[in-house]
Chain A
Amino acid sequence: MGSLLKNRGWVIGALAVAILFPFVLPNAYFLHILTLAFIWMIAVYGLNLLAGYTGYLSLAHAGFFAIGAYALGLLTVKTEINYWLALVLACLITSAIGAVVGLVALRTREHFFAIYTLCVGYIIYLVIDKWDGLTGGVRGLIGIPVPSNIGPLSFETPLSQYYLVLFFLIFTVLVMYRIVHSLTGRTFIAIRNSEDLAQTIGISTMKNKLLVFVLSTFFAGLAGALYASFIRFIGPDIGYITIIFDLLTYLLVGGIGTLAGPIVGTFLIVAVSQSLQFLQDYRMLIFGPLLTLLIIFYPRGIVGAYYDWRMKHTAKKVKRTRKEQRYFESETVDAEKKVKEG
C-alpha cells in the first residue's frame, strides 16, 4: 500500500481533474480527445504489464486491439445481442485468442518473441483486411451501437461515454495496482530480471508468462471494444503496425514498467499531437527521434526519471541528517572525554 499512500496527492488530484474536467471546460472537442486518450491508456496498460513488468515486447497488441473492436462490432451489428454481453464476450474472445497465441509465442524469447508477435499482428491485420465476408474488408464496419442503458443510466451523450470510459480506466488502474503489488506481480518482475533465475527458485515461468500475456490481451481487447462503441465505425487500419508503434511511444514516453507511465505518456503525447495538428502526417518526425533519445538517456520515461530524481533527493536528505547526527555524536563524545580527562 506504501507507494499509493506516498503518491496519494497525485492520485486524488488526477482523479479530481478527470471527474471535474467536463464541468470546468465543457468543450465537445476536448471531451472527444480525452475519451479517446483514456481508451488508449487502457490498451497501453495492457502492453505495460507484458513489456514493462515481464520484459516481453509484444508487437501484436494492435492486432488484439482490433480483435476486441471487431468482436464487439460484429456481435452487436450482425447478431444484435445485448451490448454488455457483447462487451464481455469481446474481452473473452480476445483473451482466448491471446491464450492460443501466447501458448506458442511464449516458447520464444527476446528478439524471436518480438519478431514472432510482429508477424502475428500482421497476420491479424491481413485477415481482417481480406476476409470480406465477415469483417467487411477495407470498407470497414459501420453502425456499431452505443452502449445500451443500464436502468436509468443511458450512454447516448458524449459526456456519459466519457464517464463510462473513465470508469473502465479506473478499473484498469486498480487491477494493475493489485497485480503489480501482489506476489504474482513480483513473479512477473522476477521473470523480467532473469528468467533462468526465476525458474531456478521454483517459479513456473511458462504458466506466469501465459497468465500475463492473457491479461495483457484482455485489456487490449477491452480498449478495442470501447473504441468500437465510441467511434462507432471501425476499419482494418486499427490493426495495422503503426498503432502498436503509437502505443509503444505512449508507454515509452510515460515510463515503461511504472504504474503512472501509461497515463502520463498517453496524455502528454495526445495533447502535444493535438496542438501540433498541422503536423499530423509528420508527427513521427518528432516522436521517432524522441523515442530513440528517450530509450538512450531516460529508458524509464518521464515517470522513471521523476522517481530517480526523488530517490536522489531523499538519499541526499538522509545523508545530510546522518552527517549532522554523526557530527553531533562526535561532539558529545569529545565533550564526555574532556569531562573524564578533566
Chain B
Amino acid sequence: MDILTQQLFNGLTIGSVYSLVALGLTLVYGILHIPNFAHGALYMLGAYITLTMMLLWGVHYWIAMAVSVLVVGLLGVLMDRLVFHPLRNAPPIHDKIAAIGILLFLEAFAQLIWGADYRTMETPYGQVIDIFGMTATTQRVLINIGAIAVMILLYLFLKKTYIGSTIIAMAQNREGAHLVGINTNKVAMLTFMISGGLAAIAASLSAPINLVFPGMGHLVILKAFVIIILGGMGSVPGAILGGYILGFTESLGATYISNDYKDIIAFLLLVVILSIKPKGLFSREDF
C-alpha cells in the first residue's frame, strides 16, 4: 500500500509536467493547426536557460525561471513570425517539416553552447519531507503546486479576460474571429508566447529531478503529442486530463509491469487509441 501511494504521488508529479508541456502544444494546435515538433526543443532550452542563469550569475531559482519563461516565450514568437506566418497558406506537410528544421537547429545550438554532457540542476528545495507517511523532496511538492497554480491562472486568463477570450474565439473559428475584428496575427503571437512560457516553466520545474541535456525534449514532446491526441487536439481541459492519465499510467506501469518498457506504455496507448478512433478520443467535431 505504501508503494502504491508513493507511486501515485510520482504519477501526479510526472503528470503535472506532461500537462504543462501538452498545454502549450495544444494551444498552438488549436489556433494555427500546426503540430509544433519544435516544442520539445523549447522545453529543453527553458531548462538550459534557467540552469545557466543560476550557475553563471547566481540568480535565485525563481528569478532564473522568470527570465527563462520570457526568453523562451519570445523565441516562440520569433518562430511564429519567421517560419509559421510565411507558411500559413502552404500545405500541412510543410509546417511539419519546417518545425522539424527548427527542432534540429535548436538542438544543435544547445549542444554548441552547453555541450552534450548531462547536467544536474541544484535548487534550494532539495530537502526531504514527510507527508502522510510518504517521503518526497520539496521540489516534487513544488512541481505539483506550481503546475496546478499555472493551470488555474491559465484557465482564468482564457475564461475571464478579454485577451484570453480572443484566443478561444480564434480557436473556435478563425474567419469568425477575423470578422469581429480580432487581430489574428497578434493572437497567434500571443499564443506562441504563452506556449513557450509554459514549456519553460515545465522544464524549469522538472529539471531538478531529472537531468538537463540537449536531447531531453525528445521523449517529453512525443508524450505530449500522445496526450493531446488522447485529450483532443486543441482542447485545453483534454491536455490537462491526458497529462495526468499518462503520468499515473506510467508510474504504475513502471512499478507493476516493467521499468525497462515504461516509455513504451505511452506509445502503445496512442497506437491503440488511434487504431480504434483515427481522429483521437475527443475529436473536435464532437463539440
Contacts and interface: CB of A to CB of B under 8 A. Distances in A.
Q: Do A and B come together as binding partners? A: yes
Interface of A: 51, 55, 57, 104-105, 107-112, 114-116, 118-120, 122-123, 126-127, 130, 241, 245, 248-249, 252, 281-285, 287-293, 295-296, 299
Contacts of A118: 222, 225
B3 interface: no
B264 A123 contact: yes
A126 B35 contact: no
Contacts of B275: 104, 107
Contact of A104 (B87, B268, B271): B271
B35 A245 contact: no
Given A112-B280, A284-B108, A292 B101 contact: yes
Nearest to A132: B260
28 contacts: A55-B91, A107-B275, A108-B274, A111-B35, A112-B278, A115-B229, A119-B225, A123-B264, A123-B267, A245-B100, A245-B103, A245-B104, A282-B108, A282-B112, A285-B108, A285-B112, A288-B105, A289-B101, A291-B97, A291-B98, A291-B104, A292-B83, A292-B105, A295-B90, A295-B98, A296-B83, A296-B90, A299-B94
B104 A112 contact: no
| Chain A interface main SS type | helix
A114 B271 CA distance: 12
Interface in B258-280: 260-261, 263-264, 267-268, 270-271, 274-275, 278-280
| Residue from the set A107, A248, A284, A292 with the largest chain B CB neighbour count within 10 Å | A292
B264 A127 contact: yes
B88 to A, nearest CB: 11
B3 to A, nearest CB: 23
A251 to B, nearest CB: 9
B93 interface: yes
Interface of B: 29, 33, 35, 83, 86-87, 90-94, 96-98, 100-109, 111-112, 116, 218, 222, 225-226, 229, 233, 260-261, 263-264, 267-268, 270-271, 274-275, 278-280
B104 A119 contact: no
A115 B105 CA distance: 20
Contacts of B226: 119
Nearest to A290: B101
A91 to B, nearest CB: 24
Contacts of B218: 241
Contact of A291 (B100, B106, B267): B100
A130 B260 contact: yes
| Chain B interface main SS type | helix
A119 B83 CA distance: 25
A124 to B, nearest CB: 10
B142 to A, nearest CB: 30
Contacts of B94: 295-296, 299
Contacts of B109: 285
B229 A299 contact: no
A111 B116 contact: no
Contacts of B268: 123
Given A111-B96, A241-B218, A296-B86, A119 B101 contact: no
A119 B228 CA distance: 13
Given A51-B93, A126-B261, A130-B261, A282 B111 contact: yes
Contacts of A122: 222, 267
Given A111-B35, A126-B264, 6 more contacts: A55-B93, A57-B97, A115-B229, A288-B101, A295-B98, A299-B94
A123 B271 contact: yes
